[in-house]
């Protein structure tokens, strides 16, 4: 039986949407709006460039729901790229709902995060490592997987990153944990804090609990739900305090590399930039591949460069050899 948020249930009543006809583990406000839109008279399809259309099919983006920013309102490649990223995914416009939190809830949260970041930058001896990852195998695997799925069940690249980070942490547990009371405290449970953009600006990183035990579909559902509740100010307290490591993906903003500040008491942060075509040498042959730069910020009190290097090496391996993802 799917989970239905109170807001989604209320909106369904307003729009006359039969919730029993919708599928998925979690039915959100966006799902209800989309179902209502399908009942309405069809509008003329927006114009999309051939390159953008091909990219939309590859990434599993429903381009007919996008607003074009190109010439004469055409949907261009950049519109599709933004829609494919969780932090920039378009959300159907809805009537503002009554706040369930104080008006300054997220402002206060941002202030608390700012204080923690200032303290972390001063107190934590950071070290940074980076590696380049050939994403061609992962993107090809994702394209093939999404072709077998209905549009609503398709996966985003971000889910592969979460899955690979979780698996690598299972083999390098020293990076998964806290520094408290002047001692390193590795944690068995892997709760990945995923950085999400707030509508009024700023980032927070609520936790996806037990990320290593979740399938790709479960991670996708959890990510969608977390993004929706983050932007509506409806996070649970445990989601703000339980993260054992943070993952931030700024590729949708055109960032090449991410050198983040560790959120205390965590001891590591994994950053991803954009996937871009770069020169790549393989088996003595020079070619061009879609390449992603992954970075690790780690606390030198808890680990050293050798441990951090092992983690990045495993992360690279799991993304360049993605067949295992379909078996978990």
- Residue 181 CB-density burial (10 A; 0-12 exposed, 13-18 middle, 19+ buried): exposed
Could you give the domains of the chain? 3-88 (4.10.320.10), 107-327 (3.30.559.10)
* pTM metric for this prediction: 0.67
| Euclidean distance between CA atoms 147 and 68, whole angstroms | 24
Q: What pLDDT is stored for residue 52 in this prediction?
A: 76
Q: What is the predicted pLDDT for the residue at 129? A: 98
**Do 309 and 128 form a contact (C-beta atoms < 8 A)?**
no
For the CA atoms of 260, 261, 262, 265, the dihedral, rounded to the nearest 10 degrees, stands at -160
Per-residue pLDDT at 107: 61
pLDDT in tens, the chain (328 residues): 677 777 777 777 777 777 777 777 777 777 777 777 666 544 455 678 777 787 777 766 777 777 776 655 677 776 777 776 654 333 344 444 444 444 455 566 666 667 777 777 778 999 999 999 999 999 999 999 999 999 889 999 999 999 999 999 999 999 999 999 899 999 999 999 999 988 777 788 999 999 999 999 999 999 999 999 988 888 888 898 899 999 999 988 889 999 999 999 999 999 999 999 999 998 889 999 999 999 999 999 999 999 999 999 999 999 999 999 877 6
Question: To which H or E segment does residue 8 belong?
Answer: helix 6-15
């Amino acid at each position: 039986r799917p989970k239905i948020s109170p807001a989604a249930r209320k909106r369904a009543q307003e729009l006359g949407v039969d919730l029993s006809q919708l599928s998925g583990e979690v039915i959100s406000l966006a799902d209800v709006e989309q179902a209502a839109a399908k009942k309405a008279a069809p509008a003329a399809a927006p114009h999309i460039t051939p390159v953008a259309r091909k990219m939309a099919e590859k990434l599993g983006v429903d381009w007919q729901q996008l607003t074009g920013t190109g010439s004469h309102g055409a949907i261009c490649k950049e519109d599709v790229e933004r829609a494919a990223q969780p932090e920039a995914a378009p959300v159907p416009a809805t009537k503002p709902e009554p706040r369930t939190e104080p008006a300054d809830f997220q402002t206060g949260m941002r202030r608390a995060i700012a204080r923690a970041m200032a303290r972390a930058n001063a107190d934590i001896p950071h070290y940074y490592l980076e590696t380049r990852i050939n994403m061609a195998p992962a993107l090809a695997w994702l394209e093939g997987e999404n072709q077998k799925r209905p549009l609503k069940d398709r996966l985003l690249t971000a889910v592969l990153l979460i899955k690979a980070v979780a698996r690598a942490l299972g083999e390098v547990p020293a990076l998964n944990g806290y520094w408290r009371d002047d001692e390193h405290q590795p944690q068995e449970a892997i709760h990945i804090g995923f950085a999400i953009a707030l509508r009024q600006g700023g980032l927070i990183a609520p936790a996806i609990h037990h990320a290593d035990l979740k399938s790709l579909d479960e991670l996708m559902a959890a990510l969608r739900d977390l993004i929706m509740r983050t932007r509506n100010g409806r996070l649970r307290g445990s989601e703000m305090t339980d993260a054992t490591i943070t993952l931030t993906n700024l590729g949708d903003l055109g960032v090449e590399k991410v050198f983040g500040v560790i959120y205390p008491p965590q001891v590591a942060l994994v950053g991803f930039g954009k996937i871009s075509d770069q020169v790549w040498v393989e088996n003595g042959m020079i070619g061009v591949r879609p390449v992603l730069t992954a970075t690790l910020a780690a606390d030198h009190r808890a680990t050293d460069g050798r441990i951090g290097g092992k983690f990045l090496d495993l992360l690279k391996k799991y993304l360049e050899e993605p067949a295992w993802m379909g078996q978990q």
